[in-house]
Amino acid sequence: MTPTESTDVVVIGSGFGGSIPAYRLAAGGARVVILERGPWLTGADFDHDLKFGSASTRVFEFTMGDGMNVLGGNCVGGGSVVYFAAMPRAPRFTFERQGLLGRPLWPRSVTRDVLDPWYDMVAESLPITRSEWEDVTYSGGLFAAACAHAGRTANPVPTAVDPARCTNCNWMMSGCRFDAKRSLLLNYIPAAVSHGARVRPLHEVQHIAPTGDGGYRVHYNTVDEVDYRVVTGTGTIDARIVIVAAGAAATPVILQRSQEALGGIPEAVGRHFSGNGERLNTAVIDEAKARDVLGLDRGDGVAYEGYQVGKGPVCASWDRLDPDLPEFSRHSLEQLYFPPGFGTILAQVRDATGPSWFGVEKKEMLRRWRSWLTIFIMSEDGNEGVFGPPPETGNADRIAQQMLSRGALRYRPSEQTRAGWARADADIRDILERDGLARVMPWTDEVIGAYTVHPLASCRIGDDPATSALDDRHELRGHPGIFVTDGSAVPAGLTVNPAFTIAALAERAVPGIVQAALDRGVPVRYVDAPPRSAPEPRPTTPAVA
Amino acid sequence: MLDVAVELTPIELMTLEAYADTIIPGERRGAGDLAVAGAADGGGAVASGAVDLMVSVEGGLAGMLDTLVTGLNDHAVEYAGRAGVRLEPGVPPFVALPFPHRTALVQALTAAGHPEQDLWVSLAMFSVMAWDTGAAEHTVDALAAGHPGLIQMGFARPDPDGLWRFPDFSYRRALATPHPHTAATGDPA
């Protein structure tokens, strides 16, 4: 145990929700410490390798739950390092959703119009660019052509990818070797560091306690850089402001574990979790049909065989993002690449005579992997997730050295959520099975239950204290000075990739956090300048308190 | 290769190989190969290093493999009794099951609602990952050595520097009409 140190602001987690306020508060003059449970990797560390122990297992956490499994980041930069950088704004109607609660899920003060200037700020900072058809990969192009064939529209998706640097290697999910993906490692984080923020990797926060003078003491463990199960030390930091942004699968767990020390937490902490209504379908494309029906040719007589090529999702169907459709029947469909391993095990054989997800027929399906096309559904779920009691440390019990853990999240999809998935599955079949173009099946939900790469809403903003742990300024009800700015705060599924909205909400929260800091005697001002977009070398040795 | 956390007995090795082979089946390694049932041509999970992942320090499963093997063989005995399958003595019961029966048993063990589903799904995950990621080795090395799974999937070869690049990646033409309400930024309205 090292002596308690003191700072103005402690930020827990370094993804979008953490790094954005960290930069702005540091730029405004506050002393900021960022505690990140994962390692700090940059450019060359992002090896193209599927071996256990490579970046592909170091930067992830796959937390298995009871009926819901969450794949998230576990590194400096958080979700921005592992995401596919698809950055659409949330459609206007999502801000009017009522879900299963039967009352507005979003605070009245947040609408698309309100959020648009904050979206603009993020778009300038990362930056995000509108994609053109020339940027759309074979798999995106195939999906677009299939949509057109079905009488549907399809859009290139705005992304935070620099097309001039991108090699279309499709390894981006375990970090970008070429610095083409504009993760937070290239903008907000180096800018925060240049303004004096200190980033501490391998620091896993356990709980928060009041100090008695209006501030908070943050308790953390340090963990081994290879075996994250091994605790190498403990420590504490006192701060006037605490920003919890550990991700929607961890933020509520830290607060739950803090319940006794804080003298209670809002009822809604760890409830109303949303998996963003996510679900995947995998199609196996008939190459001859892709050529004859869709007229596709890569220039060498091959119609497609392009699953491995590209940069994640680049093309989406937004036809069902229709404000006139009733809730639970709206969704977007996005073409997606998922690397082998996670991206194959749950895929099912269409009309299998034996087991659908393993065995002889599955092997035959895997042999056609180059002709796969994965379609990502983002729909309107019913916020059915609830976190059980927290584990001893961290957000989950770690099983493997890296990447694999078991947590306390329980999720039972409602009839409405299931019906929404079924409608989206049917929508995909309608597009892709026309004229024998492909054979499509949803991933099985019988093996591990539902899954998400975009956990949301486990510590929501809202107007109703009974169902939202945070007020519309992202402050934890009853605990002034504690803010939550990550995906936990997003009130509900968005029907699109949420990173841009999480980031915009974090930007929107910063002026309120600055005011709270001022009220607590921290000399800080609000700075609206974009971060410099240049990589900053990381320290050669992780700074340990 | 990965660090080995546990040495397996011959019975444990055969049983785990038979389980992996049920998940991603492969061709027999020789005439006397009992663990691999030969239900598919080309190398399967066993030839792709499934057991290397299971026994690895990194994987986290090694400590429970002895329990899993005992459990699997107990389940096989029970299954054989129910299904009227005669098990050849001297062979681990799961290995003694003909391939269709191995498959039926694994389907039951991994089905929703089975009390041990988590364990058998985890073991299955390692079997799949061995075949389609070759996670016991660096991917570059696995491909160079002709890794059965990666090769059969058609996983592309890297550039000479061990990194992947696809300069030809796009049809480079508009293939659909964008949604009429697309915002000027390219976003949904």
- CATH number for A390: 3.50.50.60
B residues 123-142 closer than 8 Å to A (CB)? 124-125, 127-129, 131-140
Lowest-confidence region among A128-132, A227-231, A292-296, A358-362: A128-132
pLDDT, tens only, A471-528: 999 999 999 999 999 999 999 999 999 999 999 999 999 999 999 999 999 999 999 9
Q: Does A171 touch chain B (CB under 8 A)?
A: yes
Is the Cβ pair B176, A50 closer than 8 Å? no
- On whether the CB atoms of residues A253 and A395 are closer than 8 A, the answer is yes
Inside any domain, residue A166: no
Q: Does A370 touch chain B (CB under 8 A)?
A: yes
Cis omega (within 30 of 0) on the bond before B167?
A: no
Start-end of H helices in A358-498: 360-367, 415-432
What is the model's pLDDT at position A532?
76
- On whether the CB atoms of residues A216 and A208 are closer than 8 A, the answer is yes
**A427 plus A491 within the same structural domain:** no
Would you list the domain boundaries of chain B?
Answer: 10-153
Question: Which residues on B lie below 8 Å from A406 (Cβ)?
Answer: 118
Is the Cβ pair B164, A147 closer than 8 Å? no
Question: Which residues on A lie below 8 Å from B150 (Cβ)?
Answer: 340
Question: Which residues on B lie below 8 Å from A306 (Cβ)?
Answer: 169
Inside any domain, residue A544: no
What is the model's pLDDT at position A544?
39
Determine the length of chain A.
545
Write out the residue range of the structural domain in which residue A471 sits: 1-125+176-277+385-411+449-531
The pLDDT confidence band at residue A332, using thresholds 50, 70 and 90, is: very high
Inside any domain, residue A72: yes
Inside any domain, residue A171: no
Give the integer Cα–Cα distance in Å for B128 and B50. Answer: 8
Is the Cβ pair B22, A359 closer than 8 Å? yes
Burial of A89 (0-12, 13-18, 19+ CB in 10 A): buried
Is the Cβ pair A156, B56 closer than 8 Å? no
Whether the per-residue pLDDT at A237 is higher than 60: the answer is yes
Task: Compare CB distances from B187 to A88, A134, A305 and report the shortest one's residue.
Answer: A88
What is the model's pLDDT at position B141?
97
Whether the per-residue pLDDT at A277 is higher than 50: the answer is yes
**A299 plus A364 within the same structural domain:** yes
Q: Does B173 touch chain A (CB under 8 A)?
A: yes
Inside any domain, residue A266: yes
**A67 plus A107 within the same structural domain:** yes
pLDDT, tens only, A8-31: 999 999 999 999 999 999 999 999
What is the model's pLDDT at position A540?
43
Whether the per-residue pLDDT at A365 is higher than 80: the answer is yes
Is the Cβ pair B176, A145 closer than 8 Å? yes
Inside any domain, residue A542: no
Is the Cβ pair A49, B176 closer than 8 Å? no
The residue in chain B having the minimum alpha-carbon distance to the alpha carbon of residue A138 is: B170
Residue located via tokens 């003694």:
B96
Domain count, chain A: 2
Give the integer Cα–Cα distance in Å for A530 and A533. Answer: 9
**A216 plus A260 within the same structural domain:** yes
**A349 plus A406 within the same structural domain:** no
The pLDDT confidence band at residue A1, using thresholds 50, 70 and 90, is: low
**A83 plus A222 within the same structural domain:** yes
Percentage of chain A exceeding pLDDT 90: 95
Is the Cβ pair A49, B128 closer than 8 Å? no
Is the Cβ pair B131, A366 closer than 8 Å? yes
Q: Does B98 touch chain A (CB under 8 A)?
A: no
Domain endpoint, select from A394, A425, A447: A447
Burial of A489 (0-12, 13-18, 19+ CB in 10 A): buried
Q: Does B172 touch chain A (CB under 8 A)?
A: yes
Inside any domain, residue A209: yes
Is the Cβ pair A145, B175 closer than 8 Å? yes
pLDDT, tens only, A391-400: 999 999 999 9
A residues 403-442 closer than 8 Å to B (CB)? 404, 406
Q: How many CB pairs under 8 A join A and B?
A: 222
Look up the ipTM and state it. 0.98
Domain endpoint, select from A397, A425, A447: A447
DSSP code at position A88: P
Question: Which residues on B lie below 8 Å from A411 (Cβ)?
Answer: none
Task: Compare CB distances from A48 to B39, B139, B189 and report the shortest one's residue.
Answer: B139
CATH number for the domain spanning A311: value is: 3.30.410
User: What's the average model confidence in pLDDT over A71-86?
Assistant: 97
Q: Left (φ > 0), alpha (ψ -120 to 50) or beta: where does A481 sit? A: left
Query: DSSP letters along A143-212, please?
Result: HHHHHHHTT---EEPPBSB-TTT---BS-GGG--TTS-B--GGGTHHHHHHHTT-EEETTEEEEEEEE-S
What is the model's pLDDT at position A543?
41
Q: Which positions ≥6 away from B10 have C-beta within 8 Å?
A: none
Q: Does B94 touch chain A (CB under 8 A)?
A: no
**A304 plus A417 within the same structural domain:** yes
Inside any domain, residue A357: yes
Q: What angle do CA A234, A238, A243 make, to 5 degrees?
A: 95
What is the model's pLDDT at position A465?
96
Task: Compare CB distances from A134 to B40, B131, B172 and report the shortest one's residue.
Answer: B172
Which sign does the torsion angle of CA A359, B118, A425, A143 carry?
negative
The pLDDT confidence band at residue A2, using thresholds 50, 70 and 90, is: low
Q: Which helix (H) or strand (E) holds A231?
A: strand A231-239
**A1 plus A109 within the same structural domain:** yes
What is the model's pLDDT at position A3?
74
**A350 plus A296 within the same structural domain:** yes
The Cα of A133 is separated from the nearest Cα of chain B by a number of Å equal to 5
pLDDT tens for the 189 residues of chain B, in order: 899 999 999 999 999 999 999 999 999 999 999 999 999 999 999 999 999 999 999 999 999 999 999 999 999 999 999 999 999 999 999 999 999 999 999 999 999 999 999 999 999 999 999 999 999 999 999 999 999 999 999 999 999 999 999 999 999 999 999 999 999 999 999
What is the model's pLDDT at position A545?
36
Q: Which helix (H) or strand (E) holds A502?
A: helix A499-519
What is the model's pLDDT at position A541?
41
Q: Does A295 touch chain B (CB under 8 A)?
A: no
**A91 plus A141 within the same structural domain:** no
The residue in chain A having the minimum alpha-carbon distance to the alpha carbon of residue B175 is: A145
Enter the pTM of the model: 0.96
Angle between helices A360-367 and B117-133 (to 10 degrees): 30
Question: Which residues on B lie below 8 Å from A358 (Cβ)?
Answer: 22-24, 106, 110, 124, 127-128
**A67 plus A95 within the same structural domain:** yes
User: What's the average model confidence in pLDDT over A307-332?
Assistant: 97
Question: Which residues on B lie below 8 Å from A155 (Cβ)?
Answer: 176, 178-179, 182, 186
